[in-house]
Amino acid sequence: MSNILNTLTSTDAYGNTGVQQTYFDPREIIGAILVPKDWKVDSTYLGTLGVSLKTNLQADTRKTVGDRIFPIFSFGGVTDNSTESKYQSFGYGAERKAADGKYTWTFDLLQGGISLIKQLRKFNTSDYDVIFVTRDSYMIGTTTGTAGEMKGVTLDMFDVQPWKISDGTNATGLKIKFSMSLGATKELNENISYIKTDFDIESNVHGCIQVALTDVGTQSITHIFVGAKTNENDVNLYDLYGADLAKAGAWIIKNADGSVNTPSGVALYAAGEGFDFTGTFVTSTTITIQLQTPTALAALSPAIGAEPENGLESDILSIAIP
């Protein structure tokens, strides 16, 4: 049954060795989801018969940072630098196991280019756990210690390596290294948990796209003019969404003291291929403007950046009011 959490359990003293006709034998890992330390899948997250799993994963990609999950696809190959277990030999010839080895996997990234590498390198010093995603749509994590719950696997290091130049015969080198903690060896063996999903995770769970805001007109105490384009390829949101973004509920404007300034109107601004905000803006101050949160944008009617599209998140633009 799909979208049901599975935990491979055994008794404390021994493990039974019978093999069922169908068993967990994961295919290649083609992606990963970085998840916060306190993130978990439980019965509430799954919903009845697992019907809520996809929508909850999609919603989590748009939450505020700290609660947000970050899907990363498409992996095209892996180098396994995991260490072997360590053994100690004694003078009389006996041998004992001293420690398990550690998992270290480095994946080639096929899509996203240097722009994605730039974004992912911000996680190099962060503290996230990881859910691995296989080609046959398994989510692989570890048990929380509570029955019916799964969390991410503990990372010792997440390292997005500097890109390497193409030599004409090989593509630009883009690599991501996952070095699991020593404890993760047990997390991925004795305490492994997994979900076989009934949907393609890569096609249905998307990360947010960064949007850059710019000044596109002559600002005044009654009108401000703002343009919005994606960081990659300069896709203009004026062309993409038009009037759907020309509404006060799609934006957050704040005065110099941090108070919210709700505009009285928002219109398309053809001359600058942007948006014209009408309101009251205090002279000789600096205000800020940004898109609403990805969750709020997806909740608009019509929705902006809702599945199956990527969520949108903008930078914060400061505007000096003359």
- By percentage, how much of the chain surpasses pLDDT 90? 75
The residue among 154 and 89 whose pLDDT is bigger is 154
Render pLDDT for 106-164 as a digit per residue (tens, 0 to 9).
Answer: 999 998 888 899 999 999 988 999 999 999 999 999 999 998 999 999 999 999 999 98
Domain 209-320 classification at class level: mainly beta
The model carries a pTM of 0.90
SS (H, E, C) the chain: CCCCEEECCCCCCCCCCCCCCCCCCCCCEEEEEEECCCCCECHHHHCHHHCCHHHHHHHHCCCCCCCCCEEEECEEEEEECCCCCEEEECCCCCEEEEECCCCEEEEEECCCHHHHHHHHHHHCCCCCEEEEEECCCEEEEEECCCCCCEECECEEEEEECCCECCCCCCCCECEEEEEECHHHHHHCCCCEEEEECCCCHHHHCCCCEEEEEEECCCCCCCEEEEEEEECCCCCEHHHHHHHHCCCHHHEEEECCCCCECCCCEEEEEHHHCEEEEECCCCCCCEEEEEECCHHHHHCCCCCCCCCCCCCEEECCEEEECC
| pLDDT at residue 11 in the model | 53
pLDDT of 12 over the 70 cut: no
Domain layout of the chain by residue ranges: 5-204, 209-320
Render pLDDT for 220-235 as a digit per residue (tens, 0 to 9).
Answer: 999 999 999 998 778 9
pLDDT of 292 over the 90 cut: yes
Lowest mean pLDDT, pick from 18-22, 47-51, 130-134, 153-157: 18-22
